[in-house]
Structure 1
Amino acid sequence: MNHDDVEALRRDSAAWRLLRADTAPLVLSFLGRVFVEQNVRSIAEPELVSLLDDELYALAERRDPAAPPLYPRTPKAYLDSWSSPDAGWLRKYYRPGSDEAHYDATPAVEKAVGWVASLSSRAFVGTESRLATVFDLLRQLARGTESDPEARLAELEARRAEIDAEIAQVRDGRVAVLDDAAQRDRYQQLTAMAAELLSDFREVEANFRALDRDMRERITGWDGAKGDLLEQVVGSRNAITDSDQGRSFHAFYDFLLSRERQEEFTELVTKVQGLDALGGGDRRLRRIHYDWLDAGEQTQATVRVLSEQLRRFLDDQVWVENRRVMDILRSIESNALTVRTLSPARDEVPFTAEIDGLGIDVVLPMERPLFRPRTHERIDSEHVEPGAVDFDTSILFEQVHVDPERLSTGVRRRLQRDGQVSLRDVVAEHPLEQGLAELVTYLSLEAPDFEVVVDAEHHDEVTWASGDVQRVATVPRVTFARVGGRTAAPPGEPTAPDHPAAPRGTSTTGTTSTDEETV
C-alpha cells in the first residue's frame, strides 16, 4: 500500500471517517451493540430512536449535571446524520409497501467495530491453533491440487497409517487430549472466525446493492440497442454470482441448509461450551449458526428484491419508449388529416417529398437466360421386371377397414322393431369384431332414415373381446333414433310396421376412453 492508496482511503472510506468523528464512541458502542453483537439486519426507525434515546439518557445520568451535555442533539437528528451520504454508517431505506423508514448498519461499521475491538489488550493470545490452521490449509491446497494418482495413493496410505497408529494408542488406553491453554487458544480463534463470517454477509449484500446501482445508472444513460443493453445487464447480474466471492457464498449457504450439518454443529457447540477450561464460553456461539442462516437469508432476500425492482425499472423504461412511439404515430396521423383537407391550388401546399436517390438495377437483354425446352421422360411400363429382394407382403393385408354400411344395416334391423335403440344394445346384439375402430365408426354413422343422438351427461360401457383380453370403453350415451314413419329395411328383408318416431336430437361427437383388464 503506497501513499496515494492511504490518502484515498482517508478521504473516501466511511470506516475511516467514523474513527475520526467526534461522536465515534457513541456510534461504535451503540451501533456495535445493536447491529453487530445482536446481529440485527433491519430495525424500524421508531424502535431505533427509542433505543438511542435510552442510550443518551444513560450517558447523561453518569455525567455531572452542571457540565455541558456531551451529546446535545436529538436521537432522530443523530440517525439522520449517521445515514447521510457524508457519513455512510447507516443505510436508511423503505420496505416495499411500507412508509416507515428502516435502518441497517453498513460494512464500514463492522470494520470499524472490529478494528477498535482488536486494539484492546487480551489476557491470552493464542498462536498454536492458528499455526495448526495454516498447516491444515497448506495440506488441503497441496492435496487438492495433486493430479498424480501414485502421489495421492502414497499420501492416503500415510494418513491411514497415522490413523491406525492413533487407534492403536486409544485401544492401549493412551488418549491424548488438549490441555486448557490449547482449548482456550482454539476457542478464541473459533469465536473470531464465526464473528467475521457475519460481517462478510453484510459486505456481500453491500456488493449486490452496488452492482444494482451501477446497472440502473447504465440503463438510464443507455442510448444504444436494447439487445446490447440486455447482454450487459445479464452479464453484470451473473458477474458477482460467478465470481470467487459469489461461488464461495453460495457454497457456504448451501452447506448451512443441510439439516445434518446443522445438527452436527449444534451437537459440537454444546459439547465445546461445556468444557471446564472455557468457563461457559461465549453465549453467542450457541446460536451463531442460526445467525448465519438469518444473515444469509437476508442477503438472498435482498437479491430477490433488487431483481424485482430492476424488472420494474426495465418495464418502466419500455413503457416510456412505447409512449413515445405512440405520440409519434398520433402526430403523423394528425398531420395526415390536416394535409388531406388542404388544396394544392388554393393553399399552395406542395404535395411532394424528397427522398434519397435509389440505385437503378440495370438488366441487359443478353444477361437473361435463354429458353430451355422441358424434357419429357417416356415411361415404359411394358418391360417391368420383378425385384430381386424379398420382403414381407403380409402387412399390406393387415389394414383395418370398417364398413359403415354393414353397421348401418345392423342398426336398421333393430330399428325395424323399436323406435330407438342404444349403442350398447346394438353392440350386445352385434358384438364388435374390429375393436375400437368399429366403435368410433358407430359414433360417426350418417343415414337419412335414422340419426345419432349423443347424451354427454350420461355414460354407457361397451365391452368387446380382443383375444384373451376383455376391453371396456366408457362413452357418452348414444341412441339411434328412427326418422319419419318407418325405417328402410335392409336389402332382402320386409319392412316392419310403423312405430312412433323417437324424439329428434342433436348429433355430437363423444370422447371415448378405454380401460384394459386381463381375464
Structure 2
Amino acid sequence: MDLDEIDRLRERHPAWRLLRAHNAPLILAFLGGRFIEGNRGAVPAGELVSALDDFLYAVHRTEPERYVADPAAYLDDWATPEAGWLRRFYPAASDEVHYEATPALERAYAWIQSLRSRAFVGTESRLQTAVDLLRQIVHGSETDADQRIAEIERRQAAIEAELAAARRGRFDTLDDTALRERYQQFAATARELLRDFREVEENFRSLDRSAREKIAGWGGGKGELLADLVSSRMDITASDQGRSFQAFYDLLLSEERQSELTDLLGAVQSLPQLPVDSRLRGVHHDWADAAERTQQTVRNLSEQLRRFLEDQVWVENRRVLDLVRTVEAAALAARETPPLDIGLVVDQPGVPIALPFERPLYDPQPDVAVDSLPAPAELDVTELDGLLTQRFVDTERLTENIRAVVPPRTSVALDEIIALYPVEEGIAEILGYLSLHGDGITVETTDEQTVIGYADSGGAPRRVRMNRALVRRA
C-alpha cells in the first residue's frame, strides 16, 4: 500500500474514523458488546436507547462527568453517513426505527480485540492447517488419474496402519497444550465467520440499494431495467464470494451437519482441559442466523423486482382504461351531433345493378342416399390354445435359487446356476433370471458368448446361444 492510499483510508474509512473518535471507547464497548459479541441483527431504536441508558448509568457511577449526552443523540450521531458505524432504517411492516451494526464497526472491534495480550499463542495447529490446505489445493486440482490413485492409496495405508495400532491399544492423544491451541484457533475462526457475514450482507445490501435507486429514477421500458438488475444480481451470485457463501449456506442447512456440529461442540465444551466459552456452544446457530439475515437481503431485492413489475402493470392498465374512457366520451359526443363529413371516400362512382330476372331459376337437386353403416366383417375363429398354454415363471423361486448359490458380495455365472437348478419353464425362465433386479441382486451381461441347454414344454431338448450373464449379490 502506498502513502496516498493509506492517507485516503485514514480520512474516509469508517473503521479508521471510529478509532480516531473522541468517544471511541464508549462506541466499541457498547456497540461491540451489543451487536458483535451478542451476534444481533437489527434492534429497535427504543430497545437500543434503553440499553445505552443503562450502560451510561453504570459508567456514571464511577465517572459522573464522562459521556453526558443523551443516549438517543449518541445513536443519531453514530448512524450519520459521515460516521457509518450504525445503519438506521425502517424494516418492512414496522413504523419504528431500527439500528444495525456495519462492517466498519466489526472491523474496528476485531482490531481492538487483536491488541489484547495473549498468554498463549499456538503455532503448531496453524502449521498443520496450512499444510492441509496446501494438500487440498494440490490434490484437488490434480487431473492425472494415476496421481490421484496414488494419493488415495497413501491415505488408505495411513488409515489402515492407524487402525491396526488402535486395535493393539496404541494410539496418541492430544495433550492439554495441543487441545487449548486448537480450541483457540477454532474460536478465532468461528468469530471471523460471523464478521465476514456482515461484509457479505453489506455487499448484497448495496446491490439492493442500487436497485431501488434505478427503479425510482427509471423512465424507460421494463425489459431494459430488468435485464440490468438481473445481470447485476447474477454478477454477485456468480462471483467467488457468492458461490462460497451459497456453498457454506447449503452445508450449514444440512440436518446431518447440524447434528454433528451440536455433538462436537457439546463434547468440546465438556472437556475439563479447555476454557469454557459459553458463546461458542451455540456458534453454529449464530452462523445460521447471520446467513439467514444475508439471505433476507437477497429476498428483499427479489421483492423489489416484483413490486416494480406490479406497479408497471398497474400503470399500463390505468393508461389503457383512460384511452377506453376517451373513446367512449367521443362516441357519446358524436351520437348527439354526428359529423356531416366523416371523410369517407368511395372508390367507384357508381353502384353495380343486378336485375331480378338475371338470377337463375331454382333447380332442385336429387336426393342422395348415403349408407354410413360399414359392411359386417366375417368373424375369424380365434385359436385360444396359445393363451391356455401360457406358463407362469415364479421369480421368487429364481431369487431363492440365486441366494442358495451366490454368497453375498460375490458374483456367479448364470449358466452355473442353471446347471445346479435346471430350467423348468423353458426360455421364459431364462428371461426371468435376466429380468431380476432388486433385493440386493443385479444381473450384468458380458461380451463373452455361452450356450445354455433347456427342455421346452414338450420335453424336447433345446439350446440357446446368448451373452454370458453374471449374477451379483450386494
TM range (shorter): 0.5 to 0.7
Q: How does 1:305-324 map to 2 (within 5 A)?
A: 305-317=300-312, 319-320=314-315
Contact 2:41–2:101 (CA under 8 A) maintained in structure 1:
yes
- 1:317 deviates by 4.8
Q: Provide the residue aligned with 2:198 in structure 1.
A: 202
Residues 27 and 124 of structure 1: is their aligned pair in 2 closer, same or farther, counting only changes over 3 Å?
Answer: same
Q: Are residue 189 (structure 1) and residue 185 (structure 2) matched?
A: yes
In 2: Cα distance, 1:56 partner to 1:89 partner: 19
Q: How does 1:378-389 map to 2 (within 5 A)?
A: none
Question: TM-score under structure 1 normalisation?
Answer: 0.61
Corresponding residue number in structure 2 for 1:284:
279
- 2:20 paired residue number: 20
1:109 aligns with 2:116: no
Distance 2:378 2:296 in 1: 64
Question: Which residue of 1 is the match for residue 57 of structure 2?
Answer: 57
Gaps (5+ residues) in structure 1?
Answer: 345-350, 353-395, 400-519
Alpha-carbon distance between aligned partners in 2 of 1:138 and 1:108, rounded to the nearest angstrom: 31
Are the equivalent residues in 1 in contact too, given 2:215–2:308 (CA < 8 A)?
no
Tell me the secondary structure at the aligned position of residue 278 of structure 1.
coil
**1:425 matched to which residue of 2?**
none
Query: C-alpha deviations, 1:39-96, integer Å up to 9, x for none?
Result: 1112111111110001111111112x5xxx2212111111111111111111122222
Residue 37 of structure 1 aligns with an amino acid whose one-letter code is E
Residue 18 of structure 1 aligns to which amino acid in structure 2? L
1:332 Cα offset (Å): 9.3
Return the alpha-carbon distance in structure 2 between the equivalents of residues 276 and 233 of structure 1: 54
1:299 to 294, 297, 306: 294
1:131 counterpart (127, 132, 137)? 127
Aligned: 1:216 with 2:212: yes
Supply the AA of the counterpart residue of 2:46: P
User: C-alpha offsets along residues 375-433 of structure 1, whole Å, 9 cap, x if unaligned?
Assistant: xxxxxxxxxxxxxxxxxxxxx9599xxxxxxxxxxxxxxxxxxxxxxxxxxxxxxxxxx
Task: Give CA-to-partner distance per residue, 1:308-364, whole Å, 9 cap, x none.
Answer: 13422443355456656777887899899999999x9xxxxxx99xxxxxxxxxxxx
- How far 1:253 sits from its partner (Å)? 1.3
Deviations 1:460-518 (A, max 9, x none): xxxxxxxxxxxxxxxxxxxxxxxxxxxxxxxxxxxxxxxxxxxxxxxxxxxxxxxxxxx
TM-superposed deviation, 1:240: 1.8
The 3-state SS of whatever aligns with 1:277 is coil
Which residue in 2 is equivalent to 1:419? Answer: none
Alpha-carbon distance, 1:239 to partner? 2.1
Matches of 1:31 and 1:17, distance apart in 2: 15
| TM-score after normalising by structure 2 | 0.67
Query: What is the aligned counterpart of 1:229 among 225, 229, 246?
Result: 225
> Cα offset for 1:277?
2.2
Q: Which amino acid aligns with 2:133?
A: L
Count of residue pairs brought into register by the alignment: 347
Q: For residue 7 of structure 1, report the CA deviation from its aligned partner.
A: 2.7
1:158 alignment counterpart: 154
Residue 348 of structure 1 is matched in structure 2 by none
Give 1:453-468 correspondences, 5 Å limit.
none
Could you tell me which amino acid in structure 2 is paired with residue 243 of structure 1? S
Task: Look up the match of 2:176.
Answer: 180
1:268 pairs with 2:264: yes
Greater mean alpha carbon deviation, residues 333-342 or residues 299-308: 333-342
**Cα distance change, pair 8–332 in 1 and its aligned pair in 2 (3 A):** farther
Superposition pairs for residues 27-66 of structure 1, below 5 Å? Answer: 27-63=27-63, 65=64
Q: How many Å separate the matches in 1 of 2:172 and 2:317?
A: 76
Letter of the structure 2 residue corresponding to residue 198 of structure 1: L
Question: What is the CA deviation profile of residues 250-298 of structure 1, one whole-angstrom value per residue up to 9, with x for unaligned ones?
Answer: 211111111211111111112222223213x211111001111112222
Identity among equivalent pairs (%): 58
Distance across 2 between alignment mates of 1:96 and 1:134:
44
Unpaired runs of at least 5, structure 2? 344-375, 380-474
Q: What displacement does 1:246 show?
A: 1.4
- Give the residue type in structure 1 aligned to 2:252: L
Which structure is richer in relative contact order (CA contacts within 8 A, separation 6 or more)? Answer: 2
Cα distance change, pair 59–140 in 1 and its aligned pair in 2 (3 A)? same
| Aligned twin of 1:407 | none
Range that drifts further, 298-307 or 119-128: 298-307
Inter-partner Cα distance in structure 1 for 2:283 and 2:88: 26
Q: State how far apart, in whole Å, the 2-side matches of 1:311 and 1:156 are.
A: 50
Residues 42 and 216 from structure 1, CA distance in 2 versus in 1: closer, same or farther, beyond 3 angstroms? closer
